[in-house]
Amino acid sequence: MVIDALQCTGATVLGVCDPSLSPGSAGPLGISCLGSDDALDHHDKARILLANGIGSTGDPSRRIAVYQRLTAAGWRFVSLVHPAAIVGSGCTIESGAQIMAGAILQPGTRVGQNAIINTAASVDHDCDIGDHAHIAPGAVLCGGVSIGAATHIGSGSVVVQGVVIGANAKIGAGTIVTTSMPVGAHVGAGLVVRKETAV
C-alpha cells in the first residue's frame, strides 16, 4: 500500500529495505530490494526521504523502533498523502505520517509522527492523533477526538465527539466508544463502550 501511494503521488521509489529478501530481488509491486537497513549507508540523507512500510496491527513496536532508530541516525521520513485522500484546511501532518486512499481529514486535525490514517478512515474536525497511532480502515472519529500515542483504533470503529483515548490503547474492530478511555485500555471487538462499562 505504501509503495502504491508513493507511486500515485509521482514519487520515485528507489527500492525497499527488507532483511528477509536478497539484495536485487523483487520486493512488493516488483520494486527491487536494496538489502537490510544498512543499505541506506550508500545513499545521501539530504536527498532521500524514507517511507515506513511496516504496518501496525495492534502492536506498533516494530514500526516505532524503525522510525525512531532511523530518525536518530539523521534520516527524514516523508509525510505521505495519497492523492485519493481528502485533507481539509488547517490540518497538520507530521513527519512520517501516512494518509491512505479514501481517508478524510476534516479541518483543524493534527496527525502525529509516524501515524497511519488508513484506507477510508474518516477523521472529523479538530481531532488530535498522537505519534505512531493507527486509525484502521473504515474507522470514524467524530469531531474533537484525541487519540494517544501508539494507540490502535480498529477497523470500522466509531469514536464519538470529544472522547479522549489514552496512549497505548487498543480498540477492537467495530467498537463504538462513547466515553473517554485511559492509557493502556484494551477493548474487544464489536463492543459499545459507555461510561459505566469503560475499562
User: CA 149, CA 134: separation in Å to the nearest integer?
Assistant: 9
Give the active site residues: 125
User: CA 148, CA 112: separation in Å to the nearest integer?
Assistant: 10
Tell me the whole-structure pTM to 2 decimals. Answer: 0.93
User: CA 22, CA 177: separation in Å to the nearest integer?
Assistant: 44
CATH 2.40.50.140 fits 79-190, yes or no: no
Per-residue pLDDT of the chain (199 residues; tens, 9 = 90+): 899 999 999 999 999 998 888 898 988 888 999 989 989 998 999 999 999 999 876 689 999 999 999 999 999 999 999 999 999 999 999 999 999 999 999 999 999 999 999 999 999 999 999 999 999 999 999 999 999 999 999 999 999 999 999 999 999 999 999 999 999 999 988 888 887 555 5
Q: Which of 70, 143, 84, 136 is nearest to 108 (CA)?
A: 143
Give the distance, in angstroms, between the CA of residue 37 and the centroid of all CA atoms in the same chain: 20
Domain range list for the chain:
2-77, 79-190
Cell numbers standing for residue 140: 470514524
